[in-house]
A and B are shown apart, each in its own frame.
Chain A
Amino acid sequence: MKPAPFVYFAPQTVDEVMDLLRQYGDDAKVLAGGQSFIPTMSFRLAQPEVVIDLNGVEGLAGLREVDNGLHIGTMCRQRTVERSPLVARRAPLLAETMPSIAHPQIRNRGTFGGSLAHADPASELPAVVSVLNGRFRIRRQRGEDWVAADDFFISLFETAVGPEDLLLEVEIPDLAPGSGWAFQEFSRRQGDFALVGVAVVLELEGHVCRQARLALLSVGEGPVRAHLGEAALEGQPMGASLLQRVAEIVAHQDIDPPADIHASKDYRRHLAEVLTRRTLSQAVARAAAD
């Protein structure tokens, strides 16, 4: 379990990174926290010719407030996000989610942007950033783009970040007033990838849902938005029977989960229903308390 040889670069500026990406393109992989990538290399499932290490690049690790929310740099450590008072205040859903990601020893090294750009369908952050309406700032070989979450996650381990692009930072906008939010997942052990997870943001006006954003993890090729479930919520007064009905819609219409050694399709659907109902109830309660 030793990685195959590779050529290593440790650039210090984004411009240098972009030059290397242009030069090596598909042969190169960027190394962020490495907490998924390095074991993949040790199993020799990944054998990149060139590794471009982002850990010494200036200006990628920031976490700052902007008018409408937060900007989190791609190399900001997950542990930093988890412990940031700014995040707790302006993106409480994110703060609540962070401890579910692996273990502190992983989060000390793992990065916010690395996880999002890796886009593992079992990861928490893609689903949570999706319901938070996050936007992704991507440096291209020519210029920059801001990409919305819905357009960012394309399929299994594939995002809007192309082989010669670099994710620079992520914008997490503030929640609208009167929002409720929740994240829950079910994993076999603390820190494991979840069998199913659900993230939700609800904007309520009184008892009525103005807007709902619901996304699930580990049920598809990326974060899966539950559009039918969202539609069934919007414009409706919140109540236990509605939440149960929405949970059933999500589990049976929005998702087509895979089977693997840890969970069958049926069990995943079942968990999705349970967790959707539980997160919705929690989000409604939080919105009401707001």
Chain B
Amino acid sequence: MSTTAASNRHPIRLTVNGEVHEREVEPRLLLSDFLRHDLRLTGTHVGCEHGVCGACTILLDGAAVRSCLMFAVQSHDHEIETVEGLGTAEALHPLQEAFRDTHALQCGFCTPGFLMSLVPFLAEHDDPSEEEIRHALGGNLCRCTGYQNIVEAVRLACRRQRQGDAHGLGEGAVPGEMS
């Protein structure tokens, strides 16, 4: 069977945030560990390793999935986006900007998972209701914020998205340092 292999380490080739990586991995290596420790993309956080908390959420071929519920070997030939692929500290992605403007993060540990869950949601929703937003957040746990300001951040990001104000100094935010 030429297409299968039984050796202990498997070569994989994948694209992460637009960059191609080739590595050899043990099949049991979780994708979350591979991203964090092999590729040193430590923005993807691990909170439970059983698929509940959502901190490790990434985009697999554009869809939000838990990276702790996949093996790295399964990412062969796939495209992955992590939080490092959104914006930079100097030029935040509009969603990141909205999180900052509304104080939607405290310890920030869960935040990358929320952001990656929300990227596809925002692509599909222009003006979601509060109920839709809360349902969209339902698969990510946050222990600090009580979710209220995360809901607010999604609202703000959508409002700016509607106004085509991609980089974010729209209504609700004062230029500079004040919220």
A residues in contact (CB < 8 Å) with B: 1-12, 16, 19-20, 34-35, 38-39, 41-43, 51, 53, 55, 79, 102-106, 108-109, 189-191
Contact indicator B49/A42 (Cβ below 8 Å) = yes
In the complex, what distance in Å separates the CA atom of A39 from the CA atom of B48? 10
How many Å lie between the Cα of A4 and that of B1 in the bound state?
Answer: 25
The answer, yes or no, to whether B168 is at the interface (CB within 8 Å) is no
Assembly CA distance A6 to B63 (angstroms): 27
The answer to whether A103 and B49 have CB atoms under 8 Å apart is no
Q: In the complex, are the beta carbons of B138 and A103 less than 8 A apart?
A: yes
Q: Are B69 and A108 in contact (CB under 8 A)?
A: no
Ranked nearest first, the 5 interchain pairs of A and B with the lowest CB-CB distance are A103-B139, A8-B27, A39-B50, A108-B63, A1-B49
Which of the residues B3, B4, B10, B139 comes within 8 Å of A106, measured between beta carbons? B139
List A contacts of B30 (CB < 8 A): 2-3, 38, 42
Question: Once the chains bind, are B6 and A12 in contact (CB under 8 Å)?
Answer: no
Bound-state Cα–Cα, A124 to B78, Å: 30
CB neighbours (8 Å) of B154 from chain A are: none
A105 pairs with B117, CB closer than 8 A: yes
* 8 A Cβ contacts from B1-46 to A: 1, 3-6, 8, 10, 26-28, 30, 33
Chain B 49-80 near chain A by CB (<8 Å), digits 1 or 0 = 11100100100100111101111011010000
CA distance A109 to B139 in the complex (A): 14
Q: Judging by beta carbons under 8 Å apart, are A16 and B4 in contact?
A: yes
CB contacts (< 8 Å) of B143 on chain A: these are: none
Inter-chain residue pair count (beta carbon < 8 A): 103
Which residue of A is nearest B134, CB measured? Answer: A190
B141 to chain A, nearest CB (A): 10
User: Given A3-B30, A39-B50, A106-B51, A16 and B3 touching (CB < 8 A)?
Assistant: yes
Contact with A109, one of B28, B54, B69, B117 (Cβ below 8 angstroms): B69
Contact A3–B6 (Cβ < 8 Å): no
Q: Which residues of B contact A189 (CB under 8 A)?
A: 138
Given contacts A1-B49, A42-B50, are A9 and B63 in contact (CB under 8 A)? no
Spell out B's residues near A (CB within 8 Å).
1, 3-6, 8, 10, 26-28, 30, 33, 49-51, 54, 57, 60, 63-66, 68-71, 73-74, 76, 117, 135-136, 138-139
Contact of B26 among A5, A12, A108 (CB under 8 A): A5
Cβ of B66 and Cβ of A3 under 8 Å apart? no
Rounded to whole Å, the gap between the CB of B54 and the closest CB of chain A is 7
Cα-based distance from A34 to B68 in the complex (angstroms): 10
Closest to A191 in B: B138
Contact of B3 among A6, A11, A102, A190 (CB under 8 A): A11
Cα–Cα, bound, A38→B30 (Å): 9
CA distance A38 to B71 in the complex (A): 8
Cα A42 to Cα B63 in complex, Å, equals 23
Interfacial chain A residues near B5, Cβ < 8 Å: 8-10
Among A19, A39, A79, max chain B CB count under 10 A is at: A39
A34 x B139 contact (CB < 8 A): no
Q: A1-B49, A16-B4, A109-B66 are in contact. List 16 more A-B contacts (CB 8 A).
A: A2-B28, A3-B28, A8-B27, A9-B1, A9-B4, A16-B1, A35-B66, A38-B69, A42-B49, A102-B139, A104-B64, A106-B139, A108-B60, A108-B63, A109-B70, A191-B138
Pick 28 A–B contacts, CB within 8 A, sort by A: A2-B28, A5-B8, A5-B27, A6-B28, A7-B6, A10-B73, A10-B76, A11-B1, A11-B3, A19-B1, A34-B69, A34-B70, A34-B71, A38-B30, A38-B70, A42-B50, A53-B73, A102-B139, A103-B54, A103-B138, A104-B117, A105-B57, A105-B66, A105-B117, A108-B60, A108-B65, A109-B65, A109-B66
